[in-house]
Amino acid sequence: MEGLRRRSGGALRSVAAGLLAALLALSGAAAQELSGLARLMPDGSSIGARGWSGVSVELQLSQPVPWRVRVMDGPPRLVMDFREVEFGPVEDLARDTDRVTAVRAGSFRLGWSRLVLELARPMVVESADMRTSDGARIAIRLRKADEAEFAARAAAPEPPGWALPKAADLPRPVQGAGPLTVVLDPGHGGIDPGAERGGVSEASLMLTLSRELKEALVRDGTFRVAVTRAEDVFVPLEDRITLAREAGGQVFVSLHADAIAEGEAVGATLYTLAEEASDAAAAALAERHDRDDLLAGIDLTGHDDLVAGVLMDLARTETGPRNERLALALEAAIKRRQIAMHRHPRQAAGFSVLKSPDMPSILVETGFMSSDADLARLRDPGWRARMVIALVEGLKVWAREDAALKDMLRR
Ligand SMILES: [Zn+2]
Distances in Å between the Cα of 250 and the Cα atoms of 153, 210, 253 are 40, 17, 10
Please check whether residues 406 and 277 belong to one and the same domain. yes
Please check whether residues 145 and 220 belong to one and the same domain. no
Ligand 1 centre and the CA of 292: distance in Å? 9
Please check whether residues 217 and 284 belong to one and the same domain. yes
Compute φ and ψ for 269, nearest 5 degrees: -135, 140
Which of 285, 296, 307 shows the shortest CA–CA distance to 167? 296
- The domain total for the chain is 2
Query: Within a domain: residue 125?
Result: yes
Rounded to whole angstroms, the Cα distance separating 403 from 405 reads: 5
Ligand 1 centre and the CA of 310: distance in Å? 27
Ligand 1 centre and the CA of 204: distance in Å? 11
Query: Within a domain: residue 143?
Result: yes
Q: Which residues constitute the domain of residue 32?
A: 2-154
Helices and strands (H and E) in the chain: how many: 10, 19
Please check whether residues 281 and 328 belong to one and the same domain. yes
Please check whether residues 148 and 283 belong to one and the same domain. no
pLDDT at 162: 59
Ligand 1 centre and the CA of 289: distance in Å? 6
Please check whether residues 198 and 137 belong to one and the same domain. no
Element (H, E) at 91: none
pLDDT at 386: 98
Query: Within a domain: residue 54?
Result: yes
201 forms beta bridges with: 196
pLDDT at 260: 84
Secondary-structure percent of the chain, ordered helix, strand, coil, rounded to 5: 40, 25, 30
User: How far is Cα of residue 62 from the mean position of the Cα atoms in its chain?
Assistant: 27
Please check whether residues 150 and 208 belong to one and the same domain. no
Ligand 1 centre and the CA of 137: distance in Å? 35
Please check whether residues 265 and 376 belong to one and the same domain. yes
Rounded to whole angstroms, the Cα distance separating 336 from 268 reads: 13
* 220 touches 178 (CB < 8 A): yes
* 120 touches 97 (CB < 8 A): no
Ligand 1 centre and the CA of 206: distance in Å? 9
Please check whether residues 31 and 80 belong to one and the same domain. yes
pLDDT at 371: 94
Rounded to whole angstroms, the Cα distance separating 246 from 188 reads: 20
Reduce the DSSP state of residue 207 to 3 states and report it: helix
pLDDT at 170: 56
Quickly count: other Cβ atoms within 10 Å of residue 275's Cβ.
11
Please check whether residues 223 and 97 belong to one and the same domain. no
Average pLDDT per run of 10 along the chain, which is 411 residues long?
A: 32 39 42 65 93 94 88 90 88 87 86 90 93 89 95 81 59 78 95 91 97 96 93 87 88 94 87 85 84 71 47 65 95 97 92 84 96 96 98 97 85 70
pLDDT at 349: 87
CATH number for the domain that contains residue 291: 3.40.630.40
- Read off the DSSP letter of residue 230: S
β-strand 123-131 against 251-256: which pairing, if any? Answer: unpaired
pLDDT at 168: 55
